[in-house]
Amino acid sequence: MSGQISRGLLHELKRVVGAEGIRLRPEERVVYESDAIMTTKALPSAVVFPRTAAEVSAVVRALARADMPFVARGAGTGLSGGAVACQGAVLIELARLNRIRLIDAPNRRAIVESGVVNLDLTHAVEPYGLHYAPDPSSQAACTIGGNIAENAGGPHCLKHGMTAQHVLALEVVLPDGELIALERDGRGYDLAGLFIGSEGTFGIATAATVLLTPLAEATETLLADFTEVEAACRAVSAIIAAGILPAALEMMDGAAVRAVEASVNAAGYPADAAAVLLIEIDGPEAGLGEEADRAERLCIERGARTVRRANDPERRRRLWAGRKGAFGAMGRISPDLLVQDAVVPRTKLPAVLAEIYRIAERHRLRLCNVFHAGDGNLHPNISFDRRDADEVARVQQGSKEIMHFCVAAGGSITGEHGVGLDKVDYMPLLFSEDDLALMRRVRDAWNPRGLANPAKVLPSGRACVESRGIALDGAR
Amino acid sequence: MIGEGGARKLQDLLPGEAVRTLDHAPAFRIPGASPAAVVFPSNEKVTADILRLASEERWGVVPAGHGGGLYLGNAPERAQLVLSTARMTGLVDYEPADLTLTARAGTRLGTLQTELAAHGQFLPLDPPGAADATLGGIAAVGWGGSLAGAFGGPRDHVLGVRAVLADGTAIRSGGRVVKNVAGYDLHRLFVGSFGTLAVVSEISLKVRPKPAADRTAIFTAPAWLPLQTLALRLLSNPWPFAACDLLSPSLAVSTGATETPAAALAVRAMGPDAAARDLLDRAAALASGEGIRETHRFEGAESEAFWKGLTQTEVLADDALTVRVATAPGLSSGVLGEAHRALAPGASLEFHAHASAGVVRLYVRGDAGGFAAWTEAVRRRAESAGGHAFVERAPAGVRDRLDAWSGTGSAAAVARRVKAAHDPMMILSPGRFADGI
């Protein structure tokens, strides 16, 4: 596979996307050398901007004929290096596929192109009393195509499920350029279900039929603060055990709260709390107040210091802006941030958190936790300065220990950010050689020549050859 | 056929009573095929040994739970063995506070629901034949039931599996936690794969708190169309009904929705008590505005029993044709209309539709000579509506002339390659599935 674009290939690509649809100069390509994780960088051989599914198909066909690898990218908000262009791949930027082709409100579905921004979709269907439920923190920027590649979640997936529960059909360009339709109505294999979460290694989704969810009639948002992290975890378990299924159940520890409150998204979180719980309950108006009262009582019984209710949409919006701005707020603390994405059974949270704090202390890490407490998906955030080699080594060691502990506790290596490049070397913690061999065969069934997003997800002999920068997967 | 050598090797792997001929296990008969034996491995390792042997001998193996789904799909081209997981039962792991569990594939759903209820939880899956069906069988067929529109189907509840491939390799996919994006989600692919990719031995599932109240309202009318229209109007509001099913007059009577034959719409609300009652009152108010009467309201155990009965609406007569159609919910009316219009003189039609999921199950009785033409008409209508029709059950003569499946069109080539990645020698249920798989 060549990292250089031949004149013939260049000519073909320009014919498809137009001269202004391709970026070749190094200073234009460097903008695309990493995604949001920023620890691994690789320069794509070129960046192309197709405008339609047909153009994506033609671009991929041309690249396949030239034996050129490629990687698709939405908004570049990924946190696992999934959109990094390994092996000199051509980066196919899908932002121009941004049409909402159809809104079918009576059937609660819409057909949207991959470049449509997640939150824009919700705004577009709100006039119909609907929204698109999977809501990653990056939803103001991230695209549906990226959500599909990663099987993205978000705080509200506790009640509504992840991207896979909201996709009814996919339009996909295979790595040889063929455009196919994948329906999920039981007429054959759930290939779309398999494609979701395959992180761009099977092909490129150009459009999706998505399921829309009615906006809840009423919402109650509670903010509970605790003087002990463990008490907050116990409150989470108690709420679930009481038969309450909140729409969202988010936790931030004291360090995360203080970062948020010092940032532009300051939301009035109590800065001296050891942990805060953001609980959202929604549904029909009748009986909702009583459900919220029950949740409040459970928090207080488990040691909550105070429980506040956000009674108006503006207050609710601010609380959520604080939560969703948490990662951005870390940027004020240090130049670099490692965002881990681990998931453990909910009941193991207290033990796992306690161990994470011990690991942080042992390695003198600046660490805070923000997470989807309702489903045990935690994001330890470690602030550091990459210019400090000693700190980098401690961060690598600490994050590796955290990952191993979470897996040992019955969890997974990634709850929603994906394996990408970042966690490839952790895959053997979860999967045997036989498991990985099957996954390789399945990938080869879609991507026989290995051109679609090479070096991602599955361990292979080759690294992301062109990469430079700090690899912080910690497993090496 | 299984040769003597192969039969001996099989006996060596299993104790005597774990191998039976079909005469001694009639529940495992497959229309259009004649397996030599049914085997009942008691664990994953024996399952792997059997499959390894089958691969060496090039036998066709059809996985099964307790056999209830074996009649579905096209007749397998090669079927020396039925492999039943009925002896692989029980919970492996269940932590109520995690809202997850792991169980062996042969566990019956009814048994599981009883265990879950003791902890105030349930699994919101109610496909046809639910209570007796095994978890593995429900996953293999992949259909939802009345609750699917509100809660999702089997594929939305499976978190991970352990399975055995045709060559005897044991693999796992997914995990036991509710959020997991590590690796490719083969467990999602296995759901609805009709046992053509692997034999699932263990399934991890997510469960939900059991709602405090369970209430059902029945609305009746002389004709089905106003009820279907009512259903769509109910669904156009942000009212979280658990189910909304349309029943033809005979089925309405046999399920207890009505006492005298009339088309019926059954609307279910599950949740906190006040909310459930309020939801149904709103439904009744909307219905009344359209001149449709609420004739019945069930609560609690009565409501639960009613919907359990709806998982058994199958018309099991040998002479009945059953077709399952899936389209967008708003297009079910067109399908029902065509189903009635295309009926041959003298034929009768009954139906059970899950309005919010867009699934319609059609039962036709009459002269089997007209069945193929009727099926083609309904299938064409479904496909032009962007959906598909699956022939669930047909009398022998008709079965051979119809493809059970509509097919996947442009996805077929990838489907075949994915099948080859799992089962290159076509050991598992060859020819039973769509796209000639």
Q: According to CATH, what is the number of the domain B321-406? A: 3.30.70.2740
pLDDT number for residue A270: 86
Distance CA B173, CA A193 (A): 13
Query: Is the model's pLDDT at B122 over the cut of 60?
Result: yes
- pLDDT recorded at residue A328: 72
User: Residue A38's pLDDT is what?
Assistant: 75
Chain B partners of A153 at a C-beta cutoff of 8 Å?
179
Q: What residues of B are in contact with residue A288 (Cβ under 8 Å)?
A: 275
Q: What kind of fold does domain B1-210+407-437 have according to CATH?
A: 3.30.465
Mean pLDDT, rounded, for A161-181? 98
Q: Are A51 and A17 in contact (CB under 8 A)?
A: yes
CATH 3.30.70.2190 in chain B is located at 213-310
pLDDT at position A3 over 60: no
Contacts of B40 (CB under 8 A, 6+ apart): B14, B17, B18, B19, B20, B84, B86, B87
Gap from B17 CA to chain A (nearest CA, Å): 32
For A410, name the nearest residue in chain B, comparing CA atoms only: B176
Residue type, A410: G
B232-261 mean pLDDT: 94
- Per DSSP, the three-state class of B436 is helix
Q: Does residue A417 sit at the B interface (CB-CB below 8 Å)?
A: yes
Half-sphere exposure (Cβ direction) of B200: Cα atoms closer than 13 Å: 37
pLDDT on residue A465: 67
- Give the CATH architecture of domain B213-310: 2-Layer Sandwich (3.30)
pLDDT in tens, A35-57: 998 778 999 999 999 999 999 99
Tell me where in chain B the CATH 3.30.70.2740 domain(s) lie: 321-406
Q: What is the mean pLDDT of residues A15-34?
A: 96
Q: Under a CB-based contact definition with an 8 Å cutoff, are residues A369 and A381 in contact?
A: yes
- The confidence score (pLDDT) of residue A372 equals 87
Average pLDDT over residues A182-204: 98
- Closest-CA residue of A relative to B238 is A214
Which domains are seen in chain A, by residue range?
A: 217-333 (3.30.70.2190)
Q: B200 falls in which pLDDT band (50, 70, 90)? A: very high
Residue among A162, A291, A431 minimizing CB distance to B272: A291
**pLDDT (mean) for B406-418:** 97
pLDDT in tens, B143-190: 999 999 999 999 999 999 999 999 999 999 999 998 999 999 999 999
Angle (deg, nearest 10), helices B4-13 and B44-57: 170
Q: Do A188 and B407 lie within an 8 Å CB cutoff?
A: yes
- State the smallest CA–CA distance between residue A140 and chain B in angstroms: 22
Query: What is residue A75's predicted lDDT score, i.e. its pLDDT?
Result: 97
Average pLDDT over residues B104-127: 97
Given an 8 Å threshold on Cβ–Cβ distance, is A187 in contact with B172?
Answer: no
Where do the CATH 3.30.465.10 domains begin and end in chain B? Answer: 1-210+407-437
Q: What is the pLDDT of residues A321-344, one digit of tens each?
A: 777 777 677 777 788 888 899 899
User: Could you say which DSSP state residue B344 is in?
Assistant: P
pLDDT, mean over chain B: 95
- In the predicted model, what is the mean pLDDT of residues B298-324? 87
pLDDT at A380: 93
Q: Identify the weakest region by mean pLDDT among A262-276, A337-351, A393-407, B75-89.
A: A262-276
How far is Cα B363 from Cα B394, in angstroms, rounded to an integer? 10
Instruction: Answer whether residue B78 shows pLDDT above 70.
Output: yes
Give pLDDT tens digits for B368-406: 999 999 999 999 999 999 999 999 999 888 988 899 999
Task: Copy the structure tokens of residue A33.
Answer: 């050398």
- pLDDT at residue A286 is higher than 90: no
Mutate to test the interface with A, among B101, B161, B184 (most CBs of A within 10 A): B184
Model pLDDT, residue B316: 59
- The pTM for the full model equals 0.96
A:B CB pairs within 8 Å: 257
How many angstroms away from the CA of A318 is the closest CA of chain B? 25
For the four alpha carbons of B357, A102, A123 and A139, in that order, the dihedral sign comes to positive
| Alpha-carbon distance B120 to nearest alpha carbon in chain A (angstroms) | 7
Q: How confident is the model at residue A473 (pLDDT cuts 50, 70, 90)?
A: very low
Which A residues 335-374 touch B at CB under 8 Å?
343-347, 372
Mean pLDDT of A359-370: 94
Contact A57/A175 with Cβ under 8 angstroms?
Answer: no
CB contact under 8 A, B156 and A161: yes
What is the interface pTM, i.e. ipTM, of the complex? Answer: 0.97
What is the pLDDT, as a whole number, of residue B315? 58
Give the closest residue to B189 by CA, choosing from A457, A198, A175, A449.
A198
